[in-house]
Amino acid sequence: MNKTIRRASVFCLLLVLALLGRATWVQTYQAKALADDDHNRRKTIAQYAQPLGDIIVAGSPVTGSKRTEGSDLAYKRTYRQGGLYSSVTGYSSQAYGSTQLEGIYSHVLDGTDDRLKSPLGALTGKRSAPGDVVTTIDPDVQKAASDALGDDKGAAVAIDPRSGQILGMVSSPSYDPSDISGTNDGDTWSKLLADQDKPLVNRALRQPLAPGSTFKLVVASAALENGLYDSVDEPTKSPVPYTLPGTSTPLRNESASAPCENASLRVALQYSCNNVFGKVAADLGQDKVRAMAEKFGFDDEKLDVPVRASTSVYPEDMDKPQTALSGIGQFEVTATPLQMAMVSAALANGGELAAPHMVSKVTDGDGGTLEDFADGDTKRIVSEDTAKQLRSAMVTVVEKGTGTNARIAGAEVGGKTGTAENGVDNSNTPYAWFTSYAKSGGQEVAVAVIVEDSGSTASEVSGNGLAAPVARKMMEAALRR
């Protein structure tokens, strides 16, 4: 054989062997990765080949599926009261993927989760019936929060302090996931992305902002737990004005007439005295305040409910003036509404924090349990005595302090208002906060509300005026359970 032909033949044989080797590698080792790739159209076709399982609220589905026409995607997701529950469900879109519970449990909801397979199905590869996700959401609490927030930009969270069950979670403005569940919803999607109010962002979990004076509950907890003061009624050594350490800058109070000089922690919470909590934070030092904040959940980068919440932050490497400002929930302190609801929940529950969660169980197509999220997984945050004293002080805030709009007849209600600066030199509209708890007739609830923008002028913004009424409506609904 001609030498040139022989070399060409060997080269072609090597090419064939290389192709066979590559094909074998793809089919044996890369098949699953390719099948699971988000760019694989067959994956999307399979996902929407049958009706999806449902997300359940109080025994009824708030999701559904609809037969499509003229598409290789046989079904698309539908939502009942989509705008009300979007902060819980997220969306399942044929074009834009899935978020929140829809995303976390997508394999259960589309029937591809291995736990759904029967022995025969595992052998034949037959698609299993989809499962469902059962939430802890109370529809009355959810609706109360949505109605009370109305058109205001903000968020609200309600938790059962004893179990950690999330009873309500609302973010405003909202959106209807049904409007983006298909393949031809590009205009709606573009409008949602362009909206400066960011309706796709779950503000309850994913929008940490300065908590303002609601953070004073954390500082008060640190003061009592570290023995800086033995009682919420012990006078503090807090001058008016209090000058930030090492500076000539006074830390002013909201009301010049409030009895804040040397005020006790109770009175300081009642009138939201900045001088007291700025000095307490500086006296304790940032390490002790941070340790307490972290006990409540600050700086936790893996807070899953099961949707992951953004990290609430107590900053590091502060100087004395910055530490004092952190004591009133300013400087670089940030918190989500979920985080501030957790603070009130722990104090309401005798100092123990039950892990917050909004899914009670995940079931298969026949209703059998795949996952069960037990209530009552708690950890101690502060002593029972500290919690009792701070609850008493929070009741004073509601009964005769800055939180009177949260009163509920016949119920024990405690709370803390907050008005947080926003922008350089507070140039933007301040944030109005309220965190609280209520107990009555064997029922308990802890709530946090933030109103980022209500259209009010800066001088009209207050936690009591804007956020406390929302919290009251949610607590009333929860206590009626």
Q: Which residues are catalytic?
A: 213
| Residues contacting 12, CB < 8 A, separation 6+ | none
The closest of 64, 65, 62 to 75, measured between CA atoms, is: 65
Strand 55-57 with 132-135, pairing: parallel
Hey, what are 245's tokens? 């350490």
How would DSSP label each residue in 31-96?
Answer: HHHHHH-TT-HHHHHHHTSS----EEETTEESEEEEE-SSSSS-EEEEETTHHHHHHHH--EETTT
**Which helix (H) or strand (E) element contains residue 399?**
helix 384-400
259: cis peptide before it, omega within 30°?
A: no
SS3 content of the chain, % helix, strand, coil (to 5): 40, 20, 40
Element (H, E) at 79: strand 75-79
Q: What is the dihedral of CA 135, 77, 336, 408, to 10 degrees?
A: -50
Of residues 463, 406, 438, the one with CA closest to residue 154: 463
- Where are the strands (E) in 164-313, listed by range? 166-172, 242-243, 250-251
Tokens 């917050």 belong to: 356
User: Under the phi-then-psi rule, with left for phi > 0, alpha for psi from -120 to 50, and beta for the rest, what region is 410?
Assistant: left
- The number of residues making up the chain comes to 481
Q: How far apart are CA 434 and CA 329, in angstroms?
A: 13
CA 69 to chain CA centroid, nearest Å: 37
